Amino acid sequence: MAQRKSAIKSVITNEKRHVRNKAVKSQLKTITRNFDETLESGKIDEAKAMLPGLYSEYDKAAKKRVIKVPTANRNKSRLTFKIAAKA
């Protein structure tokens, strides 16, 4: 276990970040899964309407450094390609 005061604080901070990162990643997976299900059911217009919200969530996660910016961009691009393939 950590001995110094700064190390103890780091352990606490890391745990808080871990919990937040896990929640944000879980939310990203959930909304992406909902998007995929909507697209698979043939509701292309609904999926297109969901796209700006998905972009926003990925950008927020990248801004908070939960995921890296290139990862967010890659995922957003793949979502766009999925819609283009269905349309």
Kindly indicate the confidence band of residue 60, based on its pLDDT and cuts at 50, 70 and 90.
very high
Calpha distance 24→16 (Å, rounded): 12
Rg (CA), the chain: 17
Per residue in 2-59, pLDDT (tens digit) is 789 999 999 999 999 999 999 999 999 999 999 999 999 999 999 999 999 999 999 9
Domains of the chain as residue ranges with CATH: 19-86 (1.20.58.110)
Structure tokens at 71: 């990862």
Helix runs in 1-87, H state only: 5-40, 44-63, 69-86
pTM over 0.95: no
Calpha distance 33→7 (Å, rounded): 38
